[in-house]
Structure 1
């Protein structure tokens, strides 16, 4: 299964090869240095293909590239970010 991820205002969105939106991760800024991940969701028909993890990874890359920390309010993002050691440096303390 192929999908494209792009950034829009306050979110990253995943679309399938037909351009149908199949998932999103939303975030807001808390001050100048923190991105708060509010929600991660994938259409049930597309679950199990790693889309949610890729969406969270894109937010993590954005934070890293912009020198920001992440506060994962969304339970899925929190689990992803807290269990993978490669994200330890970007989590808000």
Structure 2
């Protein structure tokens, strides 16, 4: 199973493709340099296979690479960061 996480700025979301099929996304609202993550959704066919975690990990790695910060309003993103404190430094105060 090959996965790819890409930013789709036209839709304000990061998307995960599994074998070239859209398997899920995490939506955000840009607030300057800060992205406020509001909702994460994984297609039912891909749930329970680690796709959600791979999506958030890939998203956070890209936010870090571009020097950005985020606000995890989405409970799934917040829970992922709680379980993976190596990403805690990306969390900004709510704008």
Name the TM tier (shorter chain).
0.7 to 0.9
The TM-score normalised by the length of structure 1 is 0.82
Q: How many residues align?
A: 91
TM-superposed deviation, 1:2: 3.3
Question: Secondary structure of the residue that 1:67 maps to in structure 2?
Answer: coil
Question: Secondary structure of the residue that 2:54 maps to in structure 1?
Answer: helix
Question: Secondary structure of the residue that 1:88 maps to in structure 2?
Answer: helix
Structure 2 residue ranges without an equivalent (≥5): none
Structure 1 residue ranges without an equivalent (≥5): none
Question: Secondary structure of the residue that 2:35 maps to in structure 1?
Answer: strand
RMSD: 1.6
Q: How far apart, in 2, do the equivalents of 1:63 and 1:20 lie? A: 23
